[in-house]
Structure 1
């Protein structure tokens, strides 16, 4: 249910992604008459496209999440979490481990500002009862088990809320499964109070499968921007949502 630690090949991937870009940059500066590589944030984050797709809009298949258009606060928090060890994925740690808070914020703001269309979702392959179970958890939660509805924090349209709560639509089912499992098992952590650790604690494997099946089968609305910060109090205190 959780994603295992990245194998050594992942670090080799990171080197193959990052080093050619650095080599090209040095050649451009060293060779007379060579094309000049622009020193822009778009150029500096080009390595991200190897996994997240061009402009950060990865497809709804596979594992890697879309990062374009997510709240800047959320993206910044995740970059810091990878750098500081609260999230464990070797490629990400390798790429951001030496970067400052200011640089990570610049990266986050760049991707948050991208307004790009989403692909259509994959047709739902899960049984109808499983999809309905997922829908109920997303829209209503389960008060008896102290599970709040996803829409209470991620917005009624599930496109996220400012300043730092991500949207849940347009993500691969495998990614959703892995992240919910990682929260539940303690392999993914966030700034205290860690609300997602509390929310996922009572979830069963069937709950997680139902949630990921329903969420990954939903179309993203045309207006997919994060909603404004909520006026009402969130159901749980959440350290990451405050940054």
Structure 2
């Protein structure tokens, strides 16, 4: 399969931290990303060339194949950030910043940060450089999603220090015993900001 030439054997991730893991990601999320590359919401020429001739049904077949793979994750890299930066990152990920109307990452990505089926990806097991690159792509508009584009709105409120702190803490966290996406999101705590997100529901034509 052409995917594994970049994304590693069985979609475990490329060796350079640039090509992310596909194995075990929610099928709806993988499908949406393939659509986004094909339809111009994400920009990477090689991916666009690969998926442009493929039908929706075949893209869903690819997504379901990788989603069904249950493979162990490697241990996380030791954090290079200072302890105060990691504390700030943990607070942003788990609590957000209500004073700035900045939601917690876990409000959409799940309390275990392993994602929520079928459309929301996990945040653990990803290199810091990849996380930084994706947040940067949201910020610049290189990466977009179905409206309302919650990630673009959230990242637009984050400064460089926020991004550095959040990605440093996330990249240093081990995976829980079960890395499978949650089936549903728990109710948000009182006072927590929960964004409206077009990526958390199926776009028209999606059949996860």
Give the TM-score of the pair, scaled to structure 1.
Answer: 0.79
Report if aligned partners of 1:159, 1:227 keep a CA contact under 8 Å in 2.
yes
Q: Distance in 2 between matches of 1:219 and 1:76?
A: 26
Corresponding residue of 1:242 = 201
Q: Distance in 2 between matches of 1:204 and 1:169?
A: 21
Structure 1 unpaired stretches of 5+: 1-45
Change (3 A) 1:69 1:119: same
Q: Distance in 1 between matches of 2:22 and 2:164?
A: 23
Shift of 1:230: 2.4
2:3 to 27, 34, 48: 48
Q: Deviations over 1:37-88 (max 9, x none)?
A: xxxxxxxxx1111111000011675211111000000000000000000000
Matching of residues 1-243 of structure 1 within 5 Å:
46-58=1-13, 62-230=17-185, 232=187, 235-243=194-202
Q: Secondary structure at the match of 1:160?
A: coil
**Structure ID, larger Rg:** 1
Q: Which 4+ residue blocks in structure 1 deviate beyond 6 angstroms? A: none
Greater helix percent: which structure? 1
Report if aligned partners of 2:88, 2:165 keep a CA contact under 8 Å in 1.
yes
Aligned residues: 198
Report if aligned partners of 1:163, 1:229 keep a CA contact under 8 Å in 2.
no
Give the TM-score of the pair, scaled to structure 2.
Answer: 0.91
Change (3 A) 1:60 1:130: farther
Q: Distance in 2 between matches of 1:193 and 1:232?
A: 21
Q: Distance in 2 between matches of 1:91 and 1:114?
A: 24
Report if aligned partners of 2:116, 2:183 keep a CA contact under 8 Å in 1.
yes
Corresponding residue of 2:205 = none
Report if aligned partners of 1:71, 1:160 keep a CA contact under 8 Å in 2.
yes
Structure 2 unpaired stretches of 5+: 203-208
Greater mean alpha carbon deviation, residues 227-236 or residues 111-120: 227-236
Report if aligned partners of 2:6, 2:14 keep a CA contact under 8 Å in 1.
no
Q: Distance in 2 between matches of 1:73 and 1:241?
A: 9
Q: Distance in 1 between matches of 2:186 and 2:161?
A: 33
Q: Distance in 2 between matches of 1:151 and 1:60?
A: 27
Shift of 1:185: 1.6
